[in-house]
């Protein structure tokens, strides 16, 4: 049975400037015939495909923190949605605290077309993030943002104290019927709060992929750096943290690399495996 390698993207596989080196591409693609290769990321299908142009992905991808599992050919394997009713209730709580989210949703009129909704009221962190999406055709500005019928996730960005207060309010209202990810956002220097369906996570996404392909998770190696990677760390046969990973993530990893994402850490690890 083939080994399986699944990596997070941001701050793990991608460099801090969102690039990937020719060296990483060469080493990764060299495993294409002998291994199953995929990604588990908070990113959308569209962004993931942009970043991974030229990279071999021969298994379904775990996207949007596990809310979507899909192949590179846009075949949807699994979804975990937040309903419009719940999404609008989340937005209302945030609005009461003066903060509005990004909403990532599925356009029900398309096979796989993601929508990225944002309000006209934005904080400076959100404005900076949107500068990275200027060429995308799925951005929708809303005078009064509302959820869609099928929502992958609701994402707030801001100061830690405010987002902790928002998380506490949402947990009072929804309890454990939703999943909450609160963590630092390294690109723009703030924190983010992601709200998902309770069963949407990277670990569940891996279960969906393993059932689809019929592989043994004991043969699985995963790579990550942040708190939303811990579920797949617990599931995989081998978990690998890059050197720049959060401290708690490192303590939960089987292997902590001496290299960071900016030093082609995963590629060096994969190359070293060949030399053992």
Domains of the chain and any CATH numbers: 3-79+200-275 (3.40.50.1000), 84-197 (3.30.1240.10)
- The pLDDT value given to residue 108: 76
Residues 6+ apart with CB under 8 A from 94: 100, 101, 156, 166
- Please give the Cα distance from 67 to 60 (Å, whole number): 13
Collapsing DSSP to helix, strand or coil, 159 comes out as coil
Query: What is the CA 244 to chain-centroid distance, rounded?
Result: 17
- Please give the Cα distance from 92 to 195 (Å, whole number): 14
Predicted structure pTM score: 0.93
- As a whole number of Å, the CA-based R_g of the chain is 18
- Please give the Cα distance from 259 to 18 (Å, whole number): 17
Chunked in runs of 10, what are the mean pLDDT values of the chain (276 residues)?
94 96 98 96 94 97 96 95 98 98 88 92 95 77 96 97 98 95 89 96 95 93 94 96 96 98 98 83
Enumerate the H helices of 97-246 as residue ranges: 124-130, 160-174, 202-213, 230-235
- The pLDDT value given to residue 247: 93
- The pLDDT value given to residue 143: 95
């Amino acid at each position: 049975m083939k080994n399986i390698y699944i990596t997070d993207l941001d701050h793990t596989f991608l460099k801090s400037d969102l690039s990937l080196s020719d060296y990483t591409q060469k080493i990764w693609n060299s495993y294409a015939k002998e291994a199953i290769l995929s990604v588990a990321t908070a990113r959308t299908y569209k962004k993931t495909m942009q970043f991974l142009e030229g990279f071999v992905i021969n298994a379904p991808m775990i996207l949007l923190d596990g809310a979507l599992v899909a192949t590179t050919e846009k075949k949807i394997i699994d979804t975990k949605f937040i309903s419009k009713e719940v999404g609008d209730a989340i937005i209302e709580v945030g609005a009461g605290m003066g903060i509005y989210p990004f909403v990532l949703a599925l356009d029900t009129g398309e096979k796989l077309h993601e929508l990225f909704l944002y309000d006209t009221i934005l904080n400076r962190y959100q404005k900076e993030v949107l500068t990275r999406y200027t060429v995308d055709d799925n951005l929708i500005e809303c005078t009064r943002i509302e959820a869609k019928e099928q929502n992958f996730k609701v994402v707030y960005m801001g100061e830690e104290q405010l987002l902790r207060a928002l998380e506490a309010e949402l947990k009072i209202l929804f309890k454990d019927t939703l999943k909450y990810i609160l963590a630092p956002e390294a690109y723009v220097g703030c924190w983010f709060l992601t709200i998902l369906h309770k069963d949407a996570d990277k670990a569940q996404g891996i279960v969906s992929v393993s059932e689809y392909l019929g592989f043994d998770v004991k043969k699985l190696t995963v790579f990550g750096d942040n708190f939303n990677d811990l579920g797949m760390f617990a599931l995989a046969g081998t978990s690998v943290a890059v050197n720049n990973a959060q401290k708690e993530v490192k303590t939960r990893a089987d292997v902590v690399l001496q290299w960071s994402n900016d030093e082609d850490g995963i590629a060096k690890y994969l190359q070293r495996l060949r030399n053992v």
